[in-house]
């Protein structure tokens, strides 16, 4: 710490005004940089402290330019009506390490937090990549599509098989109908046989009458006539029997045919319903496939958004650089105050500060004393990569 | 066998980001937080095919690191890409004179980084 008498010699009014100007100039230079960072509310306390400091200096009776020029140079140290005897160099000497500590701590905390965040985000993108959602990787999508396509291929023939079964049953029902028709034709033939038997019976009766008339000579013929009559009666009985059996068979076949027709109708309905179900399932499979495609597309969008987010987070590195320059400048100011109790010249200080700027935004904001319209118009965007 | 890249940057978040881009492309990665640590790391490593290095770092800056690296016959031909927020032509000239092969500006796109890496990395 400096001797208090030493300090008292320094802040004469003229110098006090210069001090204020110097502080304002440095602040003006730093403000744009501070504005860059203020979004993060990192150095707002610094700005407030600096402004408070300036206000404190400005509030003193002899700090105006007029009093600075008119007042005696032999005026003693900064006696302040604000209740503090601390001159600016002493205050800066005390406060600068604190500011630097705060800035450094904040930079470290932000960097660590960003590293953790980036680690998490990169882990998420890695999981997306493992799931086949990386741009240009069709693996996941094509695997799902292939599985769904296989489902469709396996379900599609089921409808064909059911239709084939239905067609077979319809053919069988048609054959049953043909058999019924054939049985009806047989009944007609049997009727013919019955009629022939009846005529034969009449002929046998007539033959028996004629044999009786012939007397003794017709006795043998009478025997033949009786046999013929018996055969015709047997034929008529057989025809009746066949007619009965055909009737029974026709009834059975009619029932079977009706049953087959009914079954075919029921089958047709069942097959139609099954077909609809299979079509519904295929529709759902198709929808599932589309949903899957959409999901893959959406996942890729999310993954790419995260990647862009990660890239965008590099702003923190630039902010860190700007804060680093501020930190270094505060250290430089601290060293200067240690070497010399007098505050350095503002113009040369600013020149030195600006010489450390290495980024476009620093040069732009740092040179804010020059109006935008007067800056060189053609400050080309620097190349993203330069090979040596 | 995967090629090894040394990342030198005082920002751990930037190292994480660069590492993410490079490991996804199949490279092995080792890290260092400044030039001094990097010189130590590269001596311990079996083989480093490329260095991606920041410029403005505490203890030893990137350009000084490249100069020191090139003094070692073992690493004389190890290519170095400067990855930095700085766009000052004077600093670029210093890096070139020190032996760097490329100057890549932050913020960078991972494809641009990978493209630059593939152009200068040694077998």
Q: Are A270 and A186 in contact (CB under 8 A)?
A: no
Q: A interface mutation test: which of B9, B10, B12, B17 has the most A CBs within 10 A? A: B17
**pLDDT over 90 at B102, yes or no:** yes
Which pLDDT score, from 0 to 100, does residue A338 have? 84
**pLDDT over 80 at B111, yes or no:** yes
Look at A48 and A85; give whichever has higher pLDDT.
A85
Q: Which of B17, B91, B92 sits opposite A310 (nearest CB)?
A: B17
**Omega of the bond prior to B107 within 30 degrees of 0, cis?**
yes
Look at A382 and A272; give whichever has higher pLDDT.
A272
Q: Which residues of B touch A (CB under 8 A)?
A: 11-17, 20, 24, 55-56, 85-88, 91-92, 95-96, 100-110, 112, 116, 119-120
Mean pLDDT of all residues belonging to chain A = 73
Do A317 and B14 count as a contact with CB atoms less than 8 A apart? yes
Q: Which of A119, A126, A318 sits opposite B16 (nearest CB)?
A: A119
Please provide the distance, in angstroms rounded to a whole number, between the alpha carbons at the two ends of chain B: 11
pLDDT tens sequence across A346-380: 899 999 898 888 887 787 765 544 444 444 444 56
Closest listed residue to residue A8, CA positions, set A74, A91, A94, A96: A74
| Lowest mean pLDDT, pick from A25-39, A340-354, A369-383 | A25-39
Q: How confident is the model at residue B106 (pLDDT cuts 50, 70, 90)?
A: confident
Look at A319 and A67; give whichever has higher pLDDT.
A319
pLDDT tens sequence across A130-176: 777 765 555 555 666 777 778 778 877 877 887 788 788 888 878 88
pLDDT tens sequence across B11-47: 888 898 899 889 988 999 999 999 999 999 999 988 8
**pLDDT over 90 at B70, yes or no:** yes
ipTM of the assembly?
0.89
Average pLDDT value for residue range A61-80: 37
Which pLDDT score, from 0 to 100, does residue A277 have? 86
Shortest distance between the Cα of A131 and any Cα of chain B, in A, equals 14
Shortest distance between the Cα of A332 and any Cα of chain B, in A, equals 16
Sequence-distant (6+) residues with CB within 8 A of B117 are B5, B22, B25, B27, B50, B52, B81
Q: How confident is the model at residue A200 (pLDDT cuts 50, 70, 90)?
A: very high
Tell me whether A136 touches chain B (CB under 8 Å): no
Do A311 and B107 count as a contact with CB atoms less than 8 A apart? yes
CA distance linking residue A319 with residue A11, whole number of Å: 36
Residues 325-384 of A with CB under 8 A from B: 358-360, 382-384
CA distance linking residue A37 with residue A317, whole number of Å: 12
CB-CB neighbors (< 8 A) of A316 in chain B: 11, 13
**pLDDT over 50 at A388, yes or no:** yes
Q: How confident is the model at residue A306 (pLDDT cuts 50, 70, 90)?
A: confident
Which pLDDT score, from 0 to 100, does residue A367 have? 52
Do A314 and B103 count as a contact with CB atoms less than 8 A apart? no
Cβ-based neighbour number of residue A325 at 10 Å: 21
Closest-CA residue in chain A for B90? A358
Do B86 and A315 count as a contact with CB atoms less than 8 A apart? no
Q: How confident is the model at residue A64 (pLDDT cuts 50, 70, 90)?
A: very low
Q: Which of B14, B87, B112 sits opposite A382 (nearest CB)?
A: B87
Do B12 and A111 count as a contact with CB atoms less than 8 A apart? yes
Which pLDDT score, from 0 to 100, does residue B35 have? 94
Do B56 and A321 count as a contact with CB atoms less than 8 A apart? yes
pLDDT tens sequence across A311-336: 888 888 888 888 888 999 999 998 88
Q: How confident is the model at residue B8 (pLDDT cuts 50, 70, 90)?
A: very high
pLDDT tens sequence across A207-266: 999 999 988 888 898 999 999 999 999 999 999 999 898 888 888 888 888 888 888 888
């Amino acid at each position: 710490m400096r001797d208090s008498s030493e300090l008292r010699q320094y802040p004469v009014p003229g110098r006090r005004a210069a001090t204020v100007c110097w502080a304002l100039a440095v602040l003006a230079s730093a403000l744009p940089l501070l504005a860059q960072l203020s979004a993060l509310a990192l150095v707002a306390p610094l700005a407030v402290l600096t402004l408070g400091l300036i206000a404190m200096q400005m509030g003193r009776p002899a700090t105006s330019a007029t009093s600075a020029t008119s007042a005696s140079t032999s005026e003693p140290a900064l006696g302040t009506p604000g209740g503090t005897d601390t001159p600016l160099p002493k205050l800066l000497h005390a406060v600068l390490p604190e500011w630097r500590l705060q800035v450094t701590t904040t930079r470290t905390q932000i960097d660590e937090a960003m590293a953790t965040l980036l680690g998490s985000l990169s882990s998420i993108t890695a999981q997306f990549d493992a799931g086949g959602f990386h741009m240009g990787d069709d693996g996941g999508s094509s695997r799902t599509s292939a599985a769904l396509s296989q489902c469709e291929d396996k379900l599609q023939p089921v409808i064909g098989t059911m239709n084939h079964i239905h067609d077979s049953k319809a053919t069988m029902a048609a054959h049953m109908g043909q058999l019924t028709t054939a049985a009806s034709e047989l009944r007609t033939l049997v009727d013919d046989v019955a009629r022939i038997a009846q005529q034969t019976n009449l002929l046998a009766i007539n033959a028996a009458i004629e044999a009786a008339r012939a007397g003794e000579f017709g006795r043998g013929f009478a025997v033949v006539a009786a046999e013929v009559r018996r055969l015709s009666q047997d034929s008529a009985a057989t025809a009746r029997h066949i007619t009965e059996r055909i009737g029974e068979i026709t009834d059975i076949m009619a029932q079977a045919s009706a049953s087959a027709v009914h079954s075919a109708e029921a089958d047709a309905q069942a097959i139609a319903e099954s077909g609809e179900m299979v079509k519904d399932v295929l529709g759902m499979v198709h929808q599932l496939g589309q949903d899957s495609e959409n999901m893959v597309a959406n996942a890729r969008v999310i993954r790419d958004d995260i990647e862009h987010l990660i890239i965008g987070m590099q702003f923190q590195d630039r902010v860190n650089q700007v804060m680093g320059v501020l930190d270094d400048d505060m250290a430089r100011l601290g060293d200067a105050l240690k070497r010399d109790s007098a505050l350095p010249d503002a113009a040369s200080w600013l020149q030195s500060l600006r010489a450390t700027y290495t980024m476009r935004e620093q040069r732009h904001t740092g040179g804010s004393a020059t109006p935008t319209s007067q800056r060189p118009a053609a400050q080309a965007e620097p190349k993203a990569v330069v090979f040596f | 066998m995967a090629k090894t890249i040394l990342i030198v940057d005082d920002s751990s978040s930037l190292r994480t980001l660069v590492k993410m881009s490079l490991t996804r492309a199949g490279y092995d990665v080792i890290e260092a937080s400044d030039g001094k640590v990097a010189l130590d790391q590269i001596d311990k490593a079996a083989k480093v095919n490329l260095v991606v290095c920041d410029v403005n770092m505490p203890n030893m800056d990137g350009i000084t690191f490249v100069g020191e690296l090139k003094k070692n016959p073992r690493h004389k031909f190890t290519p170095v890409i400067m990855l930095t927020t700085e766009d000052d032509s004077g600093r670029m000239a210093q890096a070139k004179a020190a032996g760097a092969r490329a100057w890549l500006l932050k913020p960078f796109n991972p494809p641009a980084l990978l493209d630059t890496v593939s152009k200068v990395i040694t077998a």
